[in-house]
Structure 1
Amino acid sequence: MARQIERKVTIIRGISAASLAVLVILCANILGAAAAFADRDSPQFHRGACEGSYPGWLRGVVDGYHDLSLSSVKDPSSVLQMVPTPEELTSADERLGYGEGLKEGFKLGVSYGVELGRAARTAESDAETMGQMTARFQAFVQEHCGDLIAALDWKKTFMNTAETSTVATLNEAQLAMHLAATANQLAISAEEMARGAQEAEAKGDLPAALKFRATAQSSAQMSASFAQMARSHAAAGREEAVQAIIDAEAAAERAKKAVDGAGG
């Protein structure tokens, strides 16, 4: 039982750590971590790449979460047709850099989002791939942001041609998706512990059955809590977060059903 719990905790921590690492490195660079510009490019290009990186990452994570085919990674330039360039970027170099940031962030974000979707819906996910994509995104941000301040207004930076989603709404959506993934991993743990309780009880090992059942109940309660948090973020994330609500609520319901079926 201890090994089963440890494995689930490792997966959950991996998902949470990867998400937190992206936000930390972005904020650190926005606040002014020093780094040198690449000699071959202008400061305006780097500024644009810095400004486009996180919007591209978010667009990729959200799209990857909904499309497990990874088809978008084959042509990351497709994001340029989906996401308009902010009008306040007037320099040609900055606009070009913004497109490069969008493409790189999008490519890495899609790969990350695919695994995040699997973690939210199945027992199969690749935390190593998620970590690798996060590290590559961090490296890109470090290279291009330096001591620049990405001054775009997230609430006014549109992320689709219909202008119904912004960086701010996609950020809320991806938070809901991470919460859904955690809710699902906790539900999987609850199901495993519930089965352990039934097996122990069948063998007449009541103390072990009680321990399994208590752990299952705890996991189910936490799964329900994460599902509730996903709903709160999804409300701000609008249509992009609908699937995350469905995934989180389905996970919490599975966990509850498993605990109810374990008796006691």
Structure 2
Amino acid sequence: MWEVVQEPFFQMALLNALLTGCLCGYLGVFVVLKRIVFVSVALSQMAALGVAVGFFMGIYPRVSAMAFTMLGIVLLAMPYSEKNTSRESILGYIYAMAAVTAVVLIAKNPIGEAHGLDLVCGNVLYTTQKDLIMLIVIVLAVVVLHLFYFKEFIFVSFDRDTAQTTGIKPGVFEFLLYISFGLIISVSMQTSGVMFIFASLVIPAMIGLCVARHIFRVFFSAVVSAAVCVTAGFYVSYVCDLPSSSTIVLFYGVLFLSVKGITFLAKK
């Protein structure tokens, strides 16, 4: 095991998964608090479509993934009449159209077809130095943004109406929050896959909310649980020759059930 840990490809893959998992774990708290889980699903699928378009047109997949993810954010940010077209129905439309279009493009492109399963399950071991540098830049940008406006993001997520009465513009900060989701989703989609990103945006936050009550401890618990599952998942996937991203997601699920069971028994 220690021999492979010293290999550059393994170190880059592990760092990629840790950065993606931890940042998604942090952002996932907002996803769960605002009850916008299906927004993360739709944006993840738009990013997957962007990767498929990149393979089909011969352009850098992360650029096309970012473009399509931002398009999804714009579509979600537009005002809709609840009588005719609700936001939930638009989410369903975006997810369905992005999914089937990605399948069609992959089926018609030999290069895309070879990477079709990676869009769903991911293959983080394919991480390159260029991928890692771009991910680090995005992570730093999102971290800086949230350091400056953390209180505003929290206020808008907990009580949108009260935040508006204090002079905070909820629409602006919700849009910035969606941009944060879009950046990390689009830059990590090609190597991490839809399932890993979606699970990282939901399950660590659920774990954090199970074990902590203070909001700062919730964020901390979510990030730590993501880091633990990523590290353990990488180790087990190597020892048992399993797909890394899928193994990490399994660890997310097992850890959540374990925490949920322990907290349930503790209340007895």
TM-score, normalised on structure 2?
0.33
Q: Which has the higher contact order (CA 8 A, sep 6+)?
A: 2
TM-score, normalised on structure 1?
0.34
Q: Which has the larger radius of gyration?
A: 1
